[in-house]
Amino acid sequence: MSKETFQIAFMPYAPIQETFKLGQYDIWPFYKEAENIIEDKVVLEQLKKFFSRYVEFKFQKELKRHEEQPCQIIIISPLNFKVGQDKFLESQIRDIVSLVHVIAFSSIFEIGFTPNTSDPFQVHIQNFVKGEEGLSVWDKFYMNYNLFKVLKPLYISDSFFPFKPTELSNTLVNSLELRDSNNSIKRIFRSLELLYHTITFSDMITDEHRLLTLLMSFEVLLGFQNKQEFVKSIKQFISGHKPIYSEREIYLKRNDKQLVKWPLTCWWAYDLYDLRSEIIHGEVVHWKYEEYGTVWQRVTFAGNLFKRIYKLLLKENGLWEDNFLSGLVETYDMDEKLIEIMNEFKEMHPDIFK
């Protein structure tokens, strides 16, 4: 007799407190809702035991350490999915991963304070055998729940506001069904995936890696072939707002040095591409902290650019409509935003500007 199996998609550290729907998926906190959603008591107790193995260290004033369970385990399930009975389709697994990329982006760039990262939005899709108090790890060995604990990494921040769906996150997730037929939508989700892997505090990721994946996020979104095309694309997406210009002498073509006047945001893109070239070709990397801050200031500013570009691409495809409130939020100029970010950086790091 074959054993009954099922799958669960969950985020153990996500800053979510309430149940909501995004597209064709329900997102809900396990400890609040499990009794109402999971009908099978065997499955319910099995999952409670499994999730009890997720712990984090808390430190008291006396520096005494103790373990606590995360406040919530967040479950992601398709609408009408029977938790404890059903398994995901391949297309649903793909959608869940992309949905998490959207939630992370919205939390960081629409809701939270910086610096924030994608680290709390780790999603796990786990196979279970009904009634068994253990699981297979990488299909190589079996481990009983009582034999392990999963410790929350110390670099995962608790400083987020709780996530709630925004108009942009709803629109992005609702467009998932067009991903395979619409090139612009496909590019948006590839860009979100790369950006997700850029914004991590993991010690295994270097600033050079973050910079390269950040540039790749723009490249896959905009489809440019070189630095000049990148600047041209950025200039197109920031048009219509009052620019702050700056002049430099640069080579637009070989042996053709010209005085060029561009908005600050275009120079930001130009210098970002130069950094990418220095990293790829093994040259000395000139980070220009005094002009653009650390890689995190670049990521913060890029997030504002991505928000604007995503909305304009969605609008071109009839999926986004500006309302009065979003119009007010988007009235700031990107050049002014860049100056604002750098002024904050200067206040925090006066030693760099002595």
- pLDDT tens by residue, the chain, 354 residues: 568 889 999 999 998 989 999 999 999 999 999 999 999 999 999 999 999 999 887 766 666 666 677 668 999 999 999 999 999 999 999 999 999 999 999 999 988 654 478 999 999 999 998 998 887 766 666 788 888 888 888 788 766 678 889 999 999 999 999 999 999 999 999 999 999 999 998 888 999 999 999 999 999 999 999 999 999 999 988 876 778 999 999 988 777 889 999 999 999 999 999 999 999 999 988 888 888 989 999 999 999 999 999 999 999 999 998 764 554 445 458 898 899 888 888 888 887 766
The encoded tokens of residue 130 equal 């009904």
pLDDT at 46: 94
pLDDT at 140: 64
pLDDT at 112: 66
pLDDT at 266: 95
CA distance 44 to 229: 54
Please give the span between the terminal C-alpha atoms of the chain, in angstroms, as a whole number: 75
Mapped onto helix, strand or coil, the DSSP state of residue 252 is: strand
pLDDT at 240: 66
Mapped onto helix, strand or coil, the DSSP state of residue 230 is: helix
How many residues are recorded in the chain? 354
CA dihedral 34, 36, 37, 43 (to 10 degrees): 60
Mapped onto helix, strand or coil, the DSSP state of residue 212 is: helix
DSSP letter (8 states) at residue 52: T
The helix or strand, by DSSP H or E, that contains position 168, with its residue range, turns out to be helix 167-174
- Confidence (pTM): 0.92
Place of tokens 């860009």: 191
Q: What is the amino acid identity at position 241?
A: H
Q: How far, in Å, are 94, 108, 111, 283 from residue 105 at the CA level? A: 17, 5, 9, 32
CA distance 185 to 192: 11
CA distance 41 to 130: 11
The encoded tokens of residue 174 equal 């609702």
* Cα–Cα nearest to 228, from 270, 281, 279: 270
Q: Which residues of 306-330 are buried (b: 16+ CB within 10 A; e: fewer)?
A: bbebbbbbbeeeebbeeeeeeeeee
